[in-house]
Amino acid sequence: MNIAIVDPMFVVGEFALQIVMACVVLLRKGNRPHVAMAWMVVVLAVPIVGAIAYLLVGETRFGAFRIRRHAKIISEVDCPANHVHHDSRTRHFQLEPAQHQIATVAQLASHCVPLAGNKLWLSGDSQEVINRMCDDIDQAKLHVHLLSYIYLADKAGQQVAQALIRAASRGVSCRLLVDGVGSKDFLKSALRKKMQQGGVNVCEALRVNMLRLIISRLDMRNHRKMLVTDGIVGWTGSQNIAEAGFAPKAKYAPWVDCSVRIAGPLVKELQMIFIEDWYMESQEDLDDVLKIEPDFQSDGVIAQSFATGPNFQNDAVTQLIQSAVQIANEEIVLTTPYFVPDYATLSALAVAARRGVRVHLVVPARNDSMWVRLASRSLFRNLLECGVRIHEFQKGLLHAKTIVVDRSTAIVTSANLD
């Protein structure tokens, strides 16, 4: 018969760790009550494992140095002078009261104001988007700025690469910023070397290394997808630089995205977001390109940009969604591939349905993340009981992230609801 003897110092140390971690969780600024309670259970039930897990993913750690540098970049790039549009028509418009509420939330989150005179072109055809992006790159005379979370060295990636190399050969400044995790295979590929040899400046966002693992969370990524050419044409939406077949997860294909091409004053705001991200990684000052004024489109619409992420220290997406849901009178259509929202967003959707708004939630029938799929399904019953209509997209992985309110206001984003 064996008797296990536990060192009293281990017991004392474990208890001390529980107390310290409980205090860290409780005092963590910005923790939602239900999130804090869940972490409390983890760190008290399994102290050592729980403490490690919390330090790895429990806090939105972005690194003090990066936060300070980003604050400096914001003060230099995202300043009032750079938001000035010399064509006074960009601010001569009248928003509906409901639209004004959404615009105010977005403006408070990322300092960008609504602007008139934007011509938008929307597409859910992946190859069509790649073709038109390449056409815009081929028309560029000054610069091409491309940012993508995922860049694959597939046919789409090759097509865009060739367009960038052609542009660089004409003397156009071509800058490509890709995420260190989402595009890890591309960053090691022969295609990257070929692009750099062809004059394309390729930069890695949020480089992965052991030091960054210690000081910040590796799952905090640059998830944006955007293109700006000559400061006059812009693209954004959910599509990465990849074929719809998406080779790494082909069994879920095709990926179905939503992208928007923009011509008009809003392009300057997209340019500003790219410059901030580029400066963050390369320390190259591109402030001069903000002197370019995109043309006002007389047949255009009012549009507004907003940037999100841990370096902005805001919950712009959830705040915007909740505002959109609250102002809806007739209908809300929300599409997202990963539906695991916070409690406030869930409640807003349920309340909207109960007050008679037609709430449609569109998600993929098959999801590439088992955990997200299970988490999403656990939320469906309550939403259905409240009157929310849930539609499962059958023809591939619906990757679009959009909201349409009363068929008069739309939000197109690259951000997920998870």
Please tell me whether residues 286 and 390 are part of one structural domain. Answer: no
The answer to whether 227 and 145 have CB atoms below 8 angstroms apart is yes
CATH number of the domain enclosing 384? 3.30.870.10
In the annotation, is 225 catalytic? yes
State how far the alpha carbon of 231 is from the alpha carbons of 147, 354, 355, in Å: 14, 45, 44
Query: What backbone torsions phi and psi does residue 352 show, to the nearest 5 degrees?
Result: -60, -45
Please tell me whether residues 279 and 372 are part of one structural domain. Answer: no
pLDDT (0 to 100) of residue 392 = 96
pLDDT value at 2 more than 60: no
Which one is predicted more confidently, 69 or 276? 276
pLDDT (0 to 100) of residue 276 = 87
Domain membership of residue 277 as a residue range: 65-97+113-307
Q: What is the dihedral of CA 107, 110, 112, 118, to 10 degrees?
A: -100
In the annotation, is 406 catalytic? yes
Edge to edge, what strands does the sheet with 143-148 contain? 201-205, 173-179, 143-148, 225-229, 233-237, 259-263, 115-123, 301-303
**How many domains, in total, are found in the chain?**
3
In the annotation, is 360 catalytic? no
Confidence label for 337 from pLDDT (cuts 50, 70 and 90): very high
In the annotation, is 72 catalytic? no
- How many Cα atoms sit within 13 Å of 74 on the Cβ side? 13
**Which one of 119, 143, 268, 399 is the catalytic residue?**
399
Please tell me whether residues 145 and 231 are part of one structural domain. Answer: yes
Q: Is residue 69 part of a domain?
A: yes
State how far the alpha carbon of 50 is from the alpha carbons of 15, 25, 36, in Å: 13, 11, 13
- Measure the CA–CA gap between 92 and 85, rounded to whole angstroms: 12
Q: Which one, of 92, 401, 408, 389, lies nearest residue 265 by Cα?
A: 92
Q: Is the torsion defined by CA of 138, 143, 147, 152 positive or negative?
A: positive
pLDDT mean across residues, the chain: 86
101-115, 194-208, 258-272, 393-407: range with lowest mean pLDDT: 101-115
Please tell me whether residues 175 and 207 are part of one structural domain. Answer: yes
**Which one of 111, 119, 143, 401 is the catalytic residue?**
401
pLDDT (0 to 100) of residue 402 = 96
Please tell me whether residues 201 and 286 are part of one structural domain. Answer: yes
Please tell me whether residues 302 and 369 are part of one structural domain. Answer: no
pLDDT tens per residue across span 356-376? 999 999 999 999 988 888 889
Confidence label for 324 from pLDDT (cuts 50, 70 and 90): very high
pTM: 0.86
Confidence label for 172 from pLDDT (cuts 50, 70 and 90): very high
Please tell me whether residues 30 and 143 are part of one structural domain. Answer: no
Please tell me whether residues 117 and 145 are part of one structural domain. Answer: yes
**Which one of 223, 257, 277, 368 is the catalytic residue?**
223
Last residue of a domain, one of 307, 325, 351: 307
**Which one of 119, 145, 225, 268 is the catalytic residue?**
225
Q: Is residue 106 part of a domain?
A: no
- Measure the CA–CA gap between 405 and 411, rounded to whole angstroms: 9
pLDDT tens per residue across span 219-229? 677 899 999 99
Q: Is residue 3 part of a domain?
A: no
Which one is predicted more confidently, 319 or 410? 410
State how far the alpha carbon of 239 is from the alpha carbons of 159, 308, 314, in Å: 15, 17, 24
Please tell me whether residues 281 and 161 are part of one structural domain. Answer: yes
pLDDT tens per residue across span 99-130? 889 999 888 877 788 999 999 999 999 999 99
The answer to whether 122 and 301 have CB atoms below 8 angstroms apart is no
The answer to whether 62 and 69 have CB atoms below 8 angstroms apart is no
Q: Which one, of 241, 237, 295, lies nearest residue 268 by Cα?
A: 295
Please tell me whether residues 136 and 240 are part of one structural domain. Answer: yes
Please tell me whether residues 168 and 283 are part of one structural domain. Answer: yes
State how far the alpha carbon of 118 is from the alpha carbons of 42, 86, 122, 264, 375, in Å: 49, 15, 13, 4, 38
Confidence label for 25 from pLDDT (cuts 50, 70 and 90): low
**Which one of 78, 136, 179, 230 is the catalytic residue?**
230
Please tell me whether residues 170 and 296 are part of one structural domain. Answer: yes
In the annotation, is 230 catalytic? yes
In the annotation, is 85 catalytic? no
Q: Is residue 417 part of a domain?
A: no
